[in-house]
Amino acid sequence: MARIIRRLLEPPHECPYLPGRTAVLDVAVLLDVSPAELGVLLERGWRRFGPAYFRPVCEACDECVSLRIPVAGFTPSRSQKRARRLASALTRTVGVPVVDDERLALYARWHAERESQRGWEPSGLTAERYAFDFAFDHPSVREVTFRDAADHNRLVGVGIMDDVPDALSAVYFFWDPEYAPPSLGVAQIVWMMEEAAARGLSYVYLGYWVAACASLAYKARYQRHEVLVGAPGLQTSVWRLVPTLSDDGPR
């Protein structure tokens, strides 16, 4: 059974997604969270990063919307199929998270490209912090690696996802900006949908969607998706199916 170690409201700080906005997170540090308990938290709009579980509680903004994709009836768009095809030569392996120099170097290259292209702040991620955030000992956590066997088994992508009784949840993904095939992150989500379908799971959670944020807007392109209506964390909040347009037009 889950144990609450600490509960806090973060002080208001600059929103990482929308310039000029202020963000506030409700954070709970939990231990001994079972996959079933994590599944309930995901259903109520909470997200997990290491042992920290969080939800936005910004008073003047509700742009962070929890989004998930029902597995039944999902059909990838042409561009999503293309991303999956371009990545098909890579070896995809699912296992427990690993902390090593190879992964740290890959993360550093990916983050440096984000700093250059999107103005992100420098990372300075250490092995200890990587272990805490990405490889925290949790019964649900899985690491997905992509390697190029034709290039000395080069590591070109790493994903972290959670595996709960009725769903998979995408936590984080980073890739080599020089060697990874185009849209490898898109291919990873399509693979997650395929895995969930093969196992009879109902959903793939993609976390928070912010329509005006370039880093998060892509999530609405997966057809058809559901959004959580109401504040995350409340039992009265409900998931609503949203018929949207794919990047290939109406479907």
Classify domain 3-242 by CATH number.
3.40.630.30
Closest CA to 39 of 169, 150, 223: 169
Q: Indicate whether 245 pLDDT > 60.
A: no
- Over residues 119-136, the pLDDT tens digits come to 888 988 999 999 999 999
What mean pLDDT do residues 204-227 have? 93
Q: Where are the domains of the chain?
A: 3-242
What does the pLDDT read at residue 124?
Answer: 86
Model confidence, pTM: 0.93
- Over residues 89-98, the pLDDT tens digits come to 999 999 999 9
Closest CA to 175 of 92, 60, 96: 92
DSSP annotation of 113 reads: H
Please name every residue paired with 149 in a beta bridge, in sequence order, or none if there are none.
none
